[in-house]
């Protein structure tokens, strides 16, 4: 059975293992550690106590931001990313965020499609934002207006 539950600092080795295999420019241990503060909400998708995917979000004032979402390579294409993104959106609504924001590599068409499927729209670009094998790559900024219930 799969379960989405809060992450802990003790999950960092598993996070690093997933991130380093799925991302050509992975987060470091220090970046993961810095994202366990009070403004962050971080969840993992577990099956039989094994971490299959995760996301890191932040809430400040009236806005949520998705910093990282990643699924283990051998689990991709099974809807886990969609489950994690839906959970992030629900968590943002529970915190009464008016909008959810994220940035994605312009070349990551699979992720862009996933975000659009969940209602995110392109809100701008950051030129030459990400490092890439050929130099630099644009970031697409995406926004999802949220409705929350009181």
> Measuring CA to CA, which residue among 143, 57, 141 is closest to residue 98?
143
* 108: its two tokens: 């990551």
Choose the catalytic residue: 115, 122, 129, 137. 115
Annotation marks residue 63 as catalytic: no
Q: Judge whether 53 and 67 are in contact, CB under 8 Å.
A: no
SS3 150: coil
Identify which of 96, 38, 31 has the alpha carbon closest to the alpha carbon of residue 70. Answer: 31
Of 19, 41, 103, 130, catalytic: 103
Residue 111 structure tokens: 């992720």
Q: What are the tokens at 124? A: 């701008």
40 catalytic residue (yes or no): no
Tell me the C-alpha distance between 22 and 108, whole Å: 12
Torsion of CA 51, 58, 89, 138, to 10 degrees: -90
Catalytic residues: 103, 115
């Amino acid at each position: 059975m799969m379960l989405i539950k809060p992450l802990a600092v003790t999950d960092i080795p598993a996070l690093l293992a997933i991130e380093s295999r799925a991302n050509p420019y992975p987060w470091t241990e220090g970046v993961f550690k810095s994202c366990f503060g009070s403004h962050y909400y971080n969840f993992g998708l577990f099956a039989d106590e094994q971490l299959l995917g995760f996301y890191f979000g932040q809430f400040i004032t009236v806005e949520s931001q998705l910093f990282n979402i990643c699924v283990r390579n051998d689990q991709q294409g099974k809807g886990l990313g969609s489950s994690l993104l839906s959970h992030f959106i629900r968590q943002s609504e529970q915190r009464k965020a008016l909008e959810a924001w994220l940035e994605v590599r312009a070349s990551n068409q699979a992720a862009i499609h996933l975000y659009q499927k969940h209602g995110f729209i392109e809100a701008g670009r950051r030129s030459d934002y990400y490092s890439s094998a050929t130099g630099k790559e644009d970031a697409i900024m995406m926004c999802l207006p949220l409705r929350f219930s009181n």
